[in-house]
Structure 1
Amino acid sequence: MTKRKLGYVALEVGVTTALLAAAWIYLDGDRGFAWTSVPQMLEAFRNAWLFDRVGSDVVPSLVRLALGFGAATLLGVALGVAVGASRTVRLLTQPVISFLRSLPAVSLLPLSLVLFGIGTAQKVFIIAFVCCWPIVLHVADGIVELDATMLSTARAYRIHGLDRLRLVLLPAITPRIFAGMRISLSLAVLLLVTSEMVAASNGIGYFVWRSQLSFSIPDMWAGIMLLGLFGYGLNALLQVVERRVCRWHINMTGRTE
């Protein structure tokens, strides 16, 4: 690990530790009904998530997030390639895409409940629908901005159809795919929690919502803490995968997309 990376890690750990210490000191007293001390949060976190409610709440949330985010990635790449590869398709679909990606996720909840009920399919639909659009836009822009020399070389070597997609287009736009996935992942975690707070019987979002309604403030904060760790860990995992898959791009440019 280089000195620069060590500096980033030290800064990240240092800032996080300082914020936790500040929260510990600030909450060490009577700050109102909605607040609780850090030791109480940690105790509630231990009782709830190590490992009493992992099977009943964490695993269902992970499954929903994986299915929704996976579907969003596949759909986003497919639509992005179709839109970016044809100027005609891009002009025809631009108003529709702009409209669909501007829809608030909350407005889709009644429709998803009518179409899919209150099960896992409803949560997966919400995540996949909202999270696919950042990937679509990044993939389409990546194809539009491809080097003309590379495309001309592919035509000269008579690389067409699926071979052109598999050997030329997808490798070239992989950094843009991951850029869209990073944005979509943060949205996916937010949408997971939102969808589980409406007509759900399990999941992390349901746990936080139920704790709030029952005025179990330490449990509510324990759920919020888990969501923070959840999002941070998934983002770190995606960055590891991106560095391995896009190593050629990072070595060439010195940065991710």
Structure 2
Amino acid sequence: MTAARRLVWYWLLPVAVLGWELATRSAEAPYFPPPSRIVARLHEMWFSGPPSRVFLTDEAVADLLPSLARLFAGWAVACAAGVLIGVALGRSRLLSALVEPLVHFGRSVPPSTLVLVFLVLFKIGTPMQLASIVYGVIWPVLVNSMDGARHVDRQYIETGVVYRLGPWQRLTRVILPAASPKIFAGLRLSVSLALIMMVISELVGSSEGIGHRMLEAQSQFDIPAMWAGIVLLGLLGIALNAAFLGVERLVLSWHRGARNGA
């Protein structure tokens, strides 16, 4: 993004927030509170605690930490399984012919429709939420890993054979690095899906977490608290995406350098 475009975005955001504030105050719609009320409720609920706890309130400890723990655990399990299965399918024609139709069937089923199935299987609690997150997150990682491993340049494989690399060395030194741009594309998609599935699972089967707190606010007609949860989820999404992009740039710096050099 050029400096001029950054300047436009820096000005556009405060102008949009100011417009939102003025429009909601003039409309006085009960379901659309002004941003100032939403931010005040957000601060009151989650970030008005003591400095010794990084300003986190008791509600934040009870809601944010369990939600983030489930999000990262489910995302990590799904990513590990997706990369492992995807690379295996991408490098084996036999496995791909047997399993790939099931993969496309599974990823065509909306993850939210299976939340109630997981609720029956695991009851209310962390196992049900983790199962929902893993099922929702695994597909883009698996498909991108499969595609990346399948289309590794044949010259790379032949070079590994010439240098007498064993199967494990070919996997770690040739196949995974060559497939890593595709794999990271799937991992980036999975971050936002993990956040979505975390909220959906907490709306249905949880007694804690951000989604449960939003559902509780809805039942109490606490509209600013509902919007505070939505804003918090948006901020979490921005932070997670920025953190992932930083890791991606670090890990794939060699790829961008090679592409620019070419």
TM-score, normalised to structure 2, is 0.91
1:128-187 alpha-carbon deviations (Å, 9 max, x no partner): 112111011111111121111111101111212211111111111111111001111111
Q: Which residue of 2 aligns with 1:140?
A: 146
How far apart in 2 are the matches of 1:11 and 1:68? 37
The yes-or-no answer on 1:196 pairing with 2:193 is: no
SS in 1 for 2:26: coil
How far apart in 2 are the matches of 1:150 and 1:42? 53
The yes-or-no answer on 1:214 pairing with 2:211 is: no
Greater shift after overlay, 8-17 or 33-42? 8-17
1:1-37 alpha-carbon deviations (Å, 9 max, x no partner): xxx5544543443333332222112112234221112
How far apart in 2 are the matches of 1:233 and 1:55? 19
How far apart in 1 are the matches of 2:142 and 2:5? 31
Q: Which residue of 2 aligns with 1:62?
A: 68
Report matched runs for 1:113-128 at 5 Å. 113-128=119-134
Greater shift after overlay, 14-23 or 244-253? 14-23
Change (3 A) 1:88 1:31: farther
1:105-138 alpha-carbon deviations (Å, 9 max, x no partner): 2221122112222111111111111211101111
How far apart in 1 are the matches of 2:96 and 2:181? 21
How far apart in 1 are the matches of 2:183 and 2:10? 29
SS in 2 for 1:41: helix
How far apart in 1 are the matches of 2:5 and 2:85? 36
Amino acid of the residue matched to residue 80 of structure 2?
A: L
Match of 1:129 among 135, 142, 160: 135
Task: For structure 1, list consecutive stretches of 5 or more residues without a partner in the other structure.
Answer: none
The yes-or-no answer on 1:179 pairing with 2:185 is: yes
Change (3 A) 1:103 1:219: same
Task: For structure 2, list consecutive stretches of 5 or more residues without a partner in the other structure.
Answer: 48-55
| 1:92 shift after superposition | 1.5
| Mapped contact 1:57–1:203 kept (Cα < 8 A) | yes
Q: Which residue of 1 aligns with 2:18?
A: 21
How far apart in 2 are the matches of 1:250 and 1:19? 35
How far apart in 2 are the matches of 1:55 and 1:229? 17
Q: Which residue of 2 aligns with 1:44?
A: 41
| Mapped contact 1:72–1:131 kept (Cα < 8 A) | yes
Q: Aligned-pair RMSD on alpha carbons?
A: 1.5
1:177-201 alpha-carbon deviations (Å, 9 max, x no partner): 1100111111111111111001211
| Mapped contact 2:21–2:34 kept (Cα < 8 A) | yes
How far apart in 2 are the matches of 1:8 and 1:54? 36
Match of 1:241 among 240, 247, 262: 247
> Percent identity between the aligned chains?
35
SS in 2 for 1:182: helix
Match of 2:27 among 23, 26, 30: 30
SS in 2 for 1:132: helix
How far apart in 2 are the matches of 1:25 and 1:75? 48
Change (3 A) 1:155 1:7: farther
Runs of 4+ in structure 1 displaced over 6 angstroms?
none
Q: Which residue of 1 aligns with 2:155?
A: 149
| 1:213 shift after superposition | 1.4
| Mapped contact 1:29–1:37 kept (Cα < 8 A) | no
Change (3 A) 1:12 1:154: farther
Tell me the number of residue pairs that the alignment of Structure 1 and Structure 2 aligns: 251
| Mapped contact 2:157–2:170 kept (Cα < 8 A) | no
How far apart in 2 are the matches of 1:249 and 1:202? 42
Amino acid of the residue matched to residue 120 of structure 1?
A: T
